[in-house]
Amino acid sequence: MATNENAVALLKADHRKVEELFESFEKARSEERKVALVKEICTELMVHATIEEEIFYPACKGKIEDGELLDEAYVEHDGAKVLIAELLQGSPSDEFYDAKVKVLSEMIKHHVKEEEMRSEGLFAEARDAGMDLNDLGDRLKARKAQLLAKFKEAGLPPPQTRSFTGHKLAQSEPVHMR
């Protein structure tokens, strides 16, 4: 069942949706609204990262010219997942909550820019490599629907990182604003 939405169009649509959610968060005032938006942002990002990591990035491996783009993309996803985990366990009343959302937004903007650059971005390289973006789009869309249904039923699982090796971190006392 063809969708007429190729992989690049589907992934760009995800980018636009998350950008809108981050903008809504910036305008939100109530804790309830912030919690709902963060849950939606984290869900969208987890689904998006999963479909890229399971389907799109492996399809690009060995076909695009700049293999470092893929390595950077995995590390960028993992950095975002650390903040996602923090946000999912936190609340708007926590110190640094809004700052974590802002930094996550900035990280995602950087990641999106690298994927969407016109001539040397990951999406452009995938197009130039002659990849079957329509088939990839169908596969991405199907997996996205599976993940959304799973997360709706069971909730978001803890984020999994691929490039971070699990260094031990010591938690110090929070900074207290005066």
pTM: 0.90
Which residue type, as a one-letter code, is found at position 166?
G
Is residue 98 classed exposed, middle or buried when 0-12, 13-18 and 19+ CB atoms within 10 A define those classes?
middle
pLDDT reported for residue 72: 94
pLDDT reported for residue 178: 44
Series of mean pLDDT values for 10-residue runs along the chain (178 residues): 76 98 97 97 97 96 85 95 95 95 98 93 93 96 97 91 76 64
CA distance 122 to 65: 9
Tell me the per-residue pLDDT of 68-103, one tens digit each, with 9 for 90 and over.
889 999 999 999 999 999 999 999 999 999 999 999
pLDDT reported for residue 168: 67
* Ordered alpha helix ranges (H), the chain: 7-27, 31-51, 57-60, 68-89, 97-116, 122-128, 133-154
pLDDT reported for residue 175: 65
pLDDT reported for residue 119: 85
CA distance 178 to 162: 39
